[in-house]
Structure 1
Amino acid sequence: MKKRHEILFNQLNTYREELLLSVSDVTEEEADIIPKQFNNNIRWNLGHVYMDQYMWIKVLTKDELYPEEFNQWFGFGTSASNFDEQTPSFEELKQLLNGQIQKIKDLYGNRLEEEFPPTEMGMFTIEQVLIRTIFHEGMHTQAINDLKKCIRK
Structure 2
Amino acid sequence: MRENKLFVQFRELRSQTISFAESVHPDIVDIVPEGFKNSIRWNLGHILVAWDHGIFPKINESRRIPMQYHRMFPKGSRPDDWEEKPPSFQEIMDRMRLQVDEIIKASEGKMDDLISKPFLRVKYLRGMFKFHITEEQHHLDCMVRIKEAIGVVGVPAQN
* Residue aligning to 2:61: 63
What is the rounded CA distance, in whole Å, between the counterparts of 1:94 and 1:132 in structure 2?
Answer: 22
Higher mean alpha-carbon deviation, 115-124 vs 29-38, is at 115-124
For these two proteins, the number of residue pairs brought into alignment is 150
Question: What is the RMSD computed on CA atoms of the aligned residues?
Answer: 1.7
Query: Could you tell me which residue of structure 1 aligns to residue 37 of structure 2?
Result: 39
Amino acid aligned to 1:25: S
Q: Percent identity?
A: 22
Residue 117 of structure 1: how far off its partner (Å) = 4.1
| Distance in 2 of aligned mates of 1:102 and 1:59 | 17
List gaps (5 residues or longer) in structure 1: none
Aligned with residue 27 of structure 2, among 26, 29, 33: 29
Structure 1 residue aligned with 2:49: 51
Runs of 4 or more consecutive aligned structure 1 residues displaced over 4 Å after TM superposition: none
Question: Where do 1:1-153 residues align within 5 Å?
Answer: 4-65=2-63, 66-83=65-82, 84-85=84-85, 87-152=86-151
- Measure the CA separation in 2 of the matches of 1:78 and 1:47: 11
Which 5+ residue runs of structure 2 have no aligned equivalent?
154-159
How far apart, CA to CA, are the structure 2 residues paired with 1:54 and 1:63? 10
- 8 Å contact 1:114–1:125 — kept in the other structure? yes
The one-letter amino acid paired with 2:134 is F
Shift of 1:64: 2.4
Q: CA deviation at 1:30?
A: 0.6
Give distance in 2, aligned partners of 1:25 and 1:117: 38
CA contact (8 A) 1:116 1:124 kept: yes
Q: TM-score when scaled to structure 2? A: 0.86
What is the TM-score normalised by the length of structure 1? 0.89
Output one character per residue of 1:73-100: Cα deviation in whole Å (capped at 9) or x when no partner: 1001101123322x21112111111121
Q: Which moved more, 1:13-22 or 1:116-125?
A: 116-125
Describe the superposition over 1:58-77 as per-residue Cα deviations: whole angstroms up to 9, x where unpaired.
45234321222222210011
